[in-house]
């Protein structure tokens, strides 16, 4: 089974498509499916021009193909990991599908928690899958990594500033806001990719 990751923002034209595209690049070679949606999506619209320009500068080659779509319960249920671009989106996701609480984080929250996950934590989470399914399957191993990150909630040092859990919305806020948003988003995406690669390498 393919491990599915869903990125969620508001309009699905700036933050979540950029995160989707960069994470797909970062996880090249790992059997994952990466998509995005918006809580109040501009359904059918292309990626925002300024966000697309930054994404392409960062190496994205398929930004022009993006089409915004609205978040729905089925997409959340199908996802193994849901990464919200801000706390408001995480709340909307969990309200839509309460059972998704354990697999839903903000992007920057997941990145911060991932920094505390040790190899021993990954081993412990993977051991908990015994008897369930093939422990050599990518989706099982990546699912264990998500569980290991979730286990850090309440244990790892919390973010010093709650707003650090969010990637700011740059839409129509000027060039500086787009750059700031990307500067918050990119290292978080890289941290997510690094942890999932580390987990996948255990197969």
Q: Where are the domains of the chain?
A: 3-200
Q: How confident is the model at residue 82 (pLDDT cuts 50, 70, 90)?
A: very high
pLDDT tens string 88-106: 999 999 999 999 999 999 9
User: Has 119 been annotated as catalytic?
Assistant: yes
Across residues 46-67, what is the average pLDDT?
A: 96
Across residues 186-194, what is the average pLDDT?
A: 98
Q: How confident is the model at residue 159 (pLDDT cuts 50, 70, 90)?
A: confident
Please choose, from the candidates 203, 83, 99, 87, the residue with its C-alpha nearest in 3D space to the C-alpha of residue 146: 83
Mean predicted lDDT score pLDDT of the chain: 93
Please choose, from the candidates 5, 2, 6, 14, the residue with its C-alpha nearest in 3D space to the C-alpha of residue 172: 14
Across residues 53-64, what is the average pLDDT?
A: 96
How crowded is residue 163: how many other Cβ atoms within 10 Å of its Cβ? Answer: 11
Q: Percent of the chain having pLDDT more than 90?
A: 83
CATH topology of domain 3-200: Rossmann fold (3.40.50)
pLDDT score, position 158: 78
pLDDT tens string 107-151: 999 999 999 999 999 989 888 876 555 545 888 899 999 999 999
Tokens standing for residue 158: 């919390």
Q: Whole-angstrom Cα distance, residue 135 to residue 105? A: 24
Tokens standing for residue 167: 């990637």
User: Has 121 been annotated as catalytic?
Assistant: no
Backbone angle region of 69, left / alpha / beta, with phi > 0 → left and psi within -120 to 50 → alpha: beta
Q: Which of 31, 72, 119, 134 is catalytic?
A: 119
Q: Which of 15, 24, 52, 90 is catalytic?
A: 15
User: Has 123 been annotated as catalytic?
Assistant: no
pLDDT tens string 5-33: 999 999 999 999 999 999 999 999 999 99
Q: Which of 9, 14, 52, 166 is catalytic?
A: 9
Instruction: Report pTM.
Output: 0.94
Q: Whole-angstrom Cα distance, residue 193 to residue 202? A: 15
SS (H, E, C) 122-159: HHHHHHCCCCCCCCCCHHHHHHHHHHHHHCCCCCCCCC
pLDDT score, position 136: 56
């Amino acid at each position: 089974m393919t491990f599915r990751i869903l990125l969620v923002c508001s309009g699905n034209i700036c933050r979540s498509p950029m995160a989707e595209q960069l994470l797909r690049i970062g996880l090249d070679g790992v059997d994952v499916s990466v998509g995005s949606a918006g809580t109040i999506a501009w359904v059918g619209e292309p990626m925002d021009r300024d966000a697309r320009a930054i994404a392409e500068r960062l190496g994205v080659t398929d930004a022009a193909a993006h089409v915004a779509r609205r978040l729905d319960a089925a997409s959340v249920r199908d996802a193994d990991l849901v990464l919200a671009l801000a706390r408001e989106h995480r709340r909307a996701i969990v309200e839509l599908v309460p059972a998704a609480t354990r697999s839903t984080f903000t992007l920057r929250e997941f990145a911060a928690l991932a920094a505390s996950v040790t190899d021993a934590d990954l081993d412990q989470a993977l051991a908990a899958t015994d008897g369930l399914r093939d422990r050599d399957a990518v989706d099982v191993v990546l699912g264990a990594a998500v569980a290991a990150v979730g286990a850090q909630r309440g244990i790892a040092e919390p973010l010093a500033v709650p707003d650090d859990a969010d990637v700011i919305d740059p839409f129509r806020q000027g060039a500086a806001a787009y750059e700031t948003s990307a500067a918050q988003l990119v290292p978080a995406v890289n941290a997510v990719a690094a942890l999932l690669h580390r987990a996948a390498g255990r197969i």
